Amino acid sequence: MRHITREGLNLIKSFEGFSPTVYLCSAGVPTIGYGHAIKRGESFTSITEEDAENMLAKDVEEAEKGILRLISVPLSDAQFNALVSFAFNLGAGALQRSALRLKLNRGEYVDASDEFIKWVRAGGKVIKGLVRRREAERRMFIS
């Protein structure tokens, strides 16, 4: 199976940041570590950075599987990294129903790259951090 590179992981970590305790993300989801959305049945008071790294690896693997399942065209490492960051943040379901996926699978790489910047809302509001993240993902994708 294909995996995100260190550069891609660093992109995700730079936007997620590390939190040893539970917080609500901009979409109102209880989150811990490096952007780990707490699932039903999970309970945390605090975690170590090592635990957060392990959770990140598992969460990223789910995003990687989504990319491999949904994208049918060849991808460079940079493109794969950007898409994994996108799917990690929004979920593979968002990618599945996106114009980004449709354009990409038609081989329209440049047009697909322009779709990243449309995904900047949480709770109905444009979030500055998401604007920065989507711009960084787009830059990585086209590099």
Which residues are designated catalytic?
A: 16
Helix%, strand%, coil% for the chain, nearest 5: 55, 10, 30
Classify the C-alpha dihedral 28-138-92-67 as positive or negative.
negative
Amino acid identity of residue 137, one-letter, is: E
DSSP letter (8 states) at residue 73: S
Q: Rounded to the nearest 5°, which phi and psi values hold at 37?
A: -75, 120
Number of other CB atoms surrounding residue 71 within 10 Å? 19
